[in-house]
Amino acid sequence: MPQELPSNVKKHLGNIFILPVLLVIALTYLQVMKLYGKETHRLGVIVYLSTFHMSLLMLLWSFFKTMVTDPGTVPPLWGFYMGDSEQKRRRYCLMCHVFKPERCHHCSVCNRCVLNMDHHCPWVNNCIGFFNRKFFLLLLTYVIITSWLAVIGLYFQAAEDLSKLVQVHHVSSIHDLTNICFFSLLVALTVILTMFFKFHVGMVKRNITTIENMDKKSTTNYKIYDKGLTNNFIQIFGRNPWLWLFPLNGRSGMPHGDGILWHRESGPTLDDELQGTEEYIKSTQRLKIFSNSLENINASRDLISPKKDESLKRDTEQTLNSFRANPQSSYDSSQL
């Protein structure tokens, strides 16, 4: 459940970065259609245009889903309960006033803590985290496919214009020069994006995020999250192979786990029918966070039904306020 934080100017200004992305997509589409839009009587062109349009549609769908999907928020009051069997030393966010689970980081642009934060992507003006990393990776995949299709489709016209330029040493029209310039920029952009895609695929294979990959000073050994290629892939893309190519989660395609507790020792157990469903995530969040103590279980019931026990609610609020006033009193907050 997203927390209510003051609106952030940087976040709103970030929407400006989306415009150049849409402009590049629109220009590429127009350039391809200018060359092939009228040649729909040839089988090769029909196959090419169909593939190009399908890839472009998936790109726009993935782009939209990456942009609007909540990457993952720390549940309210998470980590305030003593007796929790999970880590005793926790990082505390002074901006959001929450304890940060493993792999969670505060984004200064979004002004919130994000579960399993990968990075803040200005081109979609959203953080890439636990719940939208699949969409982001699909976006990169379809960007690469669409870009290479456009490069292949525009290559012949650009080569023809370039040979004219080399032979007669002057450009016959501004139109030809525009074609050559656009093609050169498209090739450069496609090569850069392909390298970026390769970089992210490498991190998926190791189950590591961009932040963790750049964190050379940390004493944490991030190899502990590496469960093998298949499990690492399923952790992000979910268990349902029918949904792997689509920017959809549904009930069966949710990322594996809850983004809060990471099973270092045993690794994911993928044979649980409920695993990955919304019910599973909600239940594991409640059960694991408030486990091992009768008081904690009572407190979780109080959170679900606040009117059941007003005195317990007051105690919880007092505990919260005392931690907010002095978060170092009982927990380690040195790693912010």
Catalytic residues: 121
DSSP line for 43-55 = HHHHHHHHHHHHH
Residue 78 CB, nearest distance to Zn ion (Å)?
12
Which residue's CB is nearer to Zn ion, number 107 or number 139?
A: 107
Which residue's CB is nearer to Zn ion, number 96 or number 211?
A: 96
Residue with tokens 């390769």: 198
Which residue's CB is nearer to Zn ion, number 101 or number 276?
A: 101
Residue 114 CB, nearest distance to Zn ion (Å)?
6
- Cβ 91 vs Cβ 103: under 8 Å: no
* Nearest-angstrom CA–CA distance, 23 and 28: 9
Residue 142 CB, nearest distance to Zn ion (Å)?
22
Residue 129 CB, nearest distance to Zn ion (Å)?
8
Which residue's CB is nearer to Zn ion, number 283 or number 335?
A: 335
Query: Residues 299-328: x/- map of binding to Zn ion (CB under 5 A)?
Result: ------------------------------
Which residue's CB is nearer to Zn ion, number 105 or number 134?
A: 105
Residue 219, judged by CB atoms within 10 A of its CB (0-12, 13-18, 19+), counts as exposed
**At 242, phi and psi to the nearest 5?**
-70, -20
Residue 127 CB, nearest distance to Zn ion (Å)?
3
Residue 133 CB, nearest distance to Zn ion (Å)?
13
- Cβ 333 vs Cβ 91: under 8 Å: yes
* Nearest-angstrom CA–CA distance, 19 and 124: 10
Q: How many residues in the shown chain lie near Zn ion by CB under 5 A?
A: 10
Query: Residues 198-237: x/- map of binding to Zn ion (CB under 5 A)?
Result: ----------------------------------------
Which 126-145 positions form the footprint of Zn ion (CB under 5 A)? 127
Which residue blocks in the chain are alpha helix, DSSP H? 9-13, 18-36, 43-68, 133-168, 174-206, 210-214, 229-237, 278-289, 294-304, 310-325
Which residue's CB is nearer to Zn ion, number 10 or number 198?
A: 10
Let me know how long the chain is: 336
Query: Contact between 68 and Zn ion (CB under 5 A)?
Result: no
Q: How far apart are the first and last CA of the chain?
A: 22
Largest CA-CA distance found in the chain, in angstroms, rounded: 89
- Cβ 226 vs Cβ 232: under 8 Å: yes
**At 177, phi and psi to the nearest 5?**
-65, -40
Which residue's CB is nearer to Zn ion, number 3 or number 194?
A: 3
- Cβ 146 vs Cβ 55: under 8 Å: yes
Query: Residues 89-128: x/- map of binding to Zn ion (CB under 5 A)?
Result: ----x-xx---------xx-xx--x------x------x-
Residue 39 CB, nearest distance to Zn ion (Å)?
44
Residue with tokens 């929790």: 84
Catalog residues that contact Zn ion under the rule CB under 5 A: 93, 95-96, 106-107, 109-110, 113, 120, 127
